[in-house]
Structure 1
Amino acid sequence: MIGHTGRVTGRVGTGLVGEVLLHVPERQGTEAFLAYPAVPGESLPVGTPVVVVEYQPPRTVFVASVLG
């Protein structure tokens, strides 16, 4: 899952469990994952494009904005 990209569908931030939709080509589709910010203190609003930097099975990811 590390390196996969997607979009925030539920705000990701400190003290929040957000949600992202990730494109998963190995499974030929898009799937929802619980998400936390990879950068402490960062807040990612709905619609932000993100990349997965850490994966904790089965459905939790830590993400960072691809916008920098």
Structure 2
Amino acid sequence: MVGELGRVTGTVGPGLVGEVIVRVRGGAEAFLAYPAEPGERIERGTVVMVTEYQPPRTVYVTSVYA
């Protein structure tokens, strides 16, 4: 899971529980998402990389094109 790319579907940021879609297990799944860098805000449509995974459905992400 760590290192996989995804796309933000619900804004990720301080005080927000965002959402990202990541391709896994031959399909695409939604995960709750938090920013890997404190204070970072990542808008909808941004391509992100998973830096940490907490089962079952939580990921920490960073923007690929920062």
Normalising by structure 2, report the TM-score. 0.98
Fraction of identical pairs, as percent: 67
SS at match of 1:40: coil
Gaps of 5+ in 2: none
Alpha-carbon shift at residue 44 of structure 1 (Å): 0.3
Deviation above 6 Å: which 4+ runs of structure 1? none
Aligned length: 66
Name the Cα RMSD after superposition.
0.5
Gaps of 5+ in 1: none
Query: Which structure has greater helix proportion?
Result: 1
Pairs within 5 Å for 1:37-48: 37-48=35-46
Deviations 1:12-62 (A, max 9, x none): 0001000000011xx101100000000110000000000000000000000
